[in-house]
Homo-oligomer: A and B are copies of this chain.
């Protein structure tokens, strides 16, 4: 639905290599709009381990409930993602739709329904007619190919203005393994809410519990450190799959996340997550500025996170950034409302490296023209030093523009 690509879109988009054990295919199933690609099927070789993290919403979508339940098995053979309908707040029919989709997918692949993973994004409160997958998933399973990652990333877009992919290669022992990931971000299918979906794949031979531990640790400073508007979708889903295919090339099977042989892999895995999460922020609804918020000198890292999130979610801070205004007064306000330890008279605040406030007052040495020029950049860093302790954290967000209100408010007017 978006007409123009975000000015914050990455300029270098990588070509994702084939990944042993993963085949992809997309189709137009007519879930909501005719003629647009709206289904992605990812076929996974036997022995694929799966891990997942989901929305913390107390009112999750039916596919989120399905995946949470099936994660217990630890094994995946197919992922089915549709856009056009989120199958959220659809009551009993929502559960029936996930059951039917999984049944169709399991027959198409030849696996148990418990090895089918599902994600849906789009309109909510409308029943998802899963019979539309009948026939479609069978054909996709037959035609799925190792390539086509960019098509896959496009199929799961809603009003994202660009497809989001990331990749890394790294060695476990002496064997090269690959990590490929895709995400969709805070886009919209009118009249509904933003949803974050992300899927990461590797051929590394990792156990499900190892992958789950890596994923849980990895999201803390990546996907969980990004906020667009502080709202949380009922459908947010991040699934990771490890096909284990690299074992044939000599990669050791690894069952513990703390295994020292995983050191380089963990770094690369987290970098893929960080890359995807940053792209989500870069494509925030109406975003014109990518905003990095760094808080240091807090009493703990958790305290620094709370303060950083308070700043990142403050409409007054976000509108100031949109107005290219180094409004440190609003940053003080957001620090103050976080409820965490802070001493007004020890606070320092810098925008893009230029300190504008120190020791509880305006920094008398700062140059207004220099700050104004810095605020025109597409990437803004706000650094807050509390001067209390060693707690440090970083979150990413974007500015709040009139385009955000337009995208989210104007479609019926």
Q: What string of 1s and 0s marks CB contacts (under 8 Å) between A324-363 and chain B?
A: 1101111011111111111011010000000001011110
Are B413 and A406 in contact, with the CB atoms below 8 A? no
A398 within 8 A of B: no
Q: Which residues of B contact A320 (CB under 8 A)?
A: 191, 408-409
Q: What string of 1s and 0s marks CB contacts (under 8 Å) between A297-336 and chain B?
A: 0000000000000000111100111111101111011111
Are B234 and A315 in contact, with the CB atoms below 8 A? no
Are A125 and B361 in contact, with the CB atoms below 8 A? yes
Q: Which residues of B contact A344 (CB under 8 A)?
A: 58-60, 89
Scan residues 185-209 of chain A and give those whose CB is less than 8 A from a CB of chain B.
Answer: 191-194
Q: How far is the CA of A123 from the CA of B329 in the complex (A)?
A: 9
A294 within 8 A of B: no
What's the nearest-Cβ distance from chain B to residue A298, in Å? Answer: 12
Partner of A58 from the list B93, B314, B342 (CB cut-off 8 Å) is B342
Q: Which of A8-16, A108-116, A224-232, A250-258 contacts B (4 or more CB under 8 A)?
A: A224-232
Q: How far is the CA of A340 from the CA of B59 in the complex (A)?
A: 10
Task: Give how many copies assemble into the complex.
Answer: 2
Are B91 and A361 in contact, with the CB atoms below 8 A? yes
Closest chain B residue to A345, Cβ basis: B91
Are B89 and A329 in contact, with the CB atoms below 8 A? yes
Are B89 and A59 in contact, with the CB atoms below 8 A? no
Known: A91-B345, A329-B88. A60 touches B125 (CB 8 A): no
Q: How far is the CA of A357 from the CA of B57 in the complex (A)?
A: 18
What's the nearest-Cβ distance from chain B to residue A367, in Å? Answer: 16
Known: A193-B316, A329-B192, A405-B405. A323 touches B410 (CB 8 A): yes
Are A58 and B336 in contact, with the CB atoms below 8 A? yes
Closest chain B residue to A314, Cβ basis: B231
Partner of A316 from the list B123, B325, B361, B408 (CB cut-off 8 Å) is B408
What's the nearest-Cβ distance from chain B to residue A344, in Å? Answer: 4
A26 within 8 A of B: no
- Chain A contributes a number of interface residues (CB within 8 A of B) equal to 75
Known: A323-B413, A324-B413. A332 touches B362 (CB 8 A): no
Closest chain B residue to A59, Cβ basis: B336
Closest chain B residue to A61, Cβ basis: B344
What's the nearest-Cβ distance from chain B to residue A34, in Å? Answer: 22
Are B402 and A57 in contact, with the CB atoms below 8 A? no
Are B409 and A332 in contact, with the CB atoms below 8 A? no
What's the nearest-Cβ distance from chain B to residue A215, in Å? Answer: 21
Q: How far is the CA of A313 from the CA of B231 in the complex (A)?
A: 9
Are B59 and A332 in contact, with the CB atoms below 8 A? yes
Scan residues 68-126 of chain A and give those whose CB is less than 8 A from a CB of chain B.
Answer: 88-94, 123-126
Are B233 and A405 in contact, with the CB atoms below 8 A? no
Q: What string of 1s and 0s marks CB contacts (under 8 Å) between A145-164 and chain B?
A: 00000000000000000000
Q: Which residues of B contact A333 (CB under 8 A)?
A: 57, 59, 193, 231-234
Scan residues 261-309 of chain A and give those whose CB is less than 8 A from a CB of chain B.
Answer: none
Q: Which residues of B contact A321 (CB under 8 A)?
A: 409
Are B325 and A411 in contact, with the CB atoms below 8 A? yes
**Can you name 12 A-B pairs with beta carbons within 8 Å?**
A56-B339, A57-B336, A58-B335, A58-B337, A89-B347, A93-B361, A94-B361, A125-B329, A229-B316, A315-B315, A321-B409, A322-B409
Q: Apart from A319-B404, A320-B408, A323-B411, what 5 extra A-B contacts exist at CB < 8 Å?
A: A88-B332, A231-B315, A321-B409, A323-B412, A400-B409
Q: 8 closest Cβ contacts across the A-B interface?
A: A57-B336, A59-B336, A91-B361, A319-B409, A323-B409, A319-B408, A232-B337, A124-B329
